[in-house]
């Protein structure tokens, strides 16, 4: 069912096609660009070594996401025994010259909620597609999406109310 080893050209094509998406997913889980790059690289190595044959491009994409998420889990397991990077260091790596509040809010979500939000809203996956990728039921994915939306809404309501209070104390109309 699988070839012996994929050629470098095939791996290069895979990285050009899916590399950015895999990096965003890994970054949303790991919150560290270096570790996200490592997870994507490990995913590419597994792709090359295992050399699975896919009937459709969507199967290939789903396999790569599943492997990347598993690589992130391995990294997080490692982190449980070692120090982690701070959120301030992660914010320094965001390419935007001004802080992107939605990215910061998304990265501040709990892990299980964050990956589901990224896969659904950033990568465009349906709940039925996300469920097998993260090893949960479709209803669990829907609940995590609902929780994520509530948490983001709560964050923005708090920011708006603190902005309104600040305007009143500063005399801004």
Residue range 23-36, pLDDT digits in tens:
999 999 998 899 99
Q: Is 52 helix (H, G, I), strand (E, B) or coil?
A: strand
| DSSP-assigned letter for residue 98 | S
Residue 131 CB coordination number (10 Å): 18
Confidence (pTM): 0.57
Q: Please indicate whether residue 40 or residue 166 has the higher confidence score (pLDDT).
A: 40
What's the sign of the alpha-carbon dihedral 102, 104, 107, 113? negative
CA 152 to CA 47: how far, in whole Å?
Answer: 35
In the numeric block, which tokens belong to residue 38? 């490592």
Q: Give the per-residue pLDDT at 1.
A: 41
Range with the poorest average pLDDT among 39-48, 91-100, 123-132: 91-100
Q: How many CA atoms lie within 13 A of 115 on its CB side?
A: 24
**pLDDT, the chain, mean:** 83
Residue range 106-155, pLDDT digits in tens:
888 888 899 999 888 888 899 999 999 999 999 999 999 999 999 988 88
Q: Please indicate whether residue 28 or residue 105 has the higher confidence score (pLDDT).
A: 28
In the numeric block, which tokens belong to residue 26? 């890994």
């Amino acid at each position: 069912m699988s070839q012996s080893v994929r050629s470098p050209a095939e791996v290069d094509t895979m990285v050009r096609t899916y590399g950015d998406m895999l990096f965003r997913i890994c970054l949303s889980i790991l919150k560290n660009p270096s570790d996200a790059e490592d997870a994507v690289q490990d995913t590419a190595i597994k792709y090359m070594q295992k050399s699975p044959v896919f009937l459709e491009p969507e199967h290939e994409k789903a396999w790569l996401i599943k492997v990347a998420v598993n690589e992130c889990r391995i990294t997080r397991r490692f982190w449980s025994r070692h120090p982690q990077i701070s959120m301030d260091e992660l914010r320094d790596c965001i390419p935007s010259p001004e802080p992107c509040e939605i990215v910061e809010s998304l990265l501040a979500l709990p892990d299980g909620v964050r990956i589901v939000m990224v896969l659904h809203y950033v990568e465009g996956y349906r709940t039925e597609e996300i469920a097998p990728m993260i090893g949960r039921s479709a209803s669990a994915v829907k609940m995590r999406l609902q929780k994520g939306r509530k948490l983001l809404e709560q964050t923005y309501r708090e920011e708006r109310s603190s902005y309104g209070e600040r305007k009143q104390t500063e005399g801004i109309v």
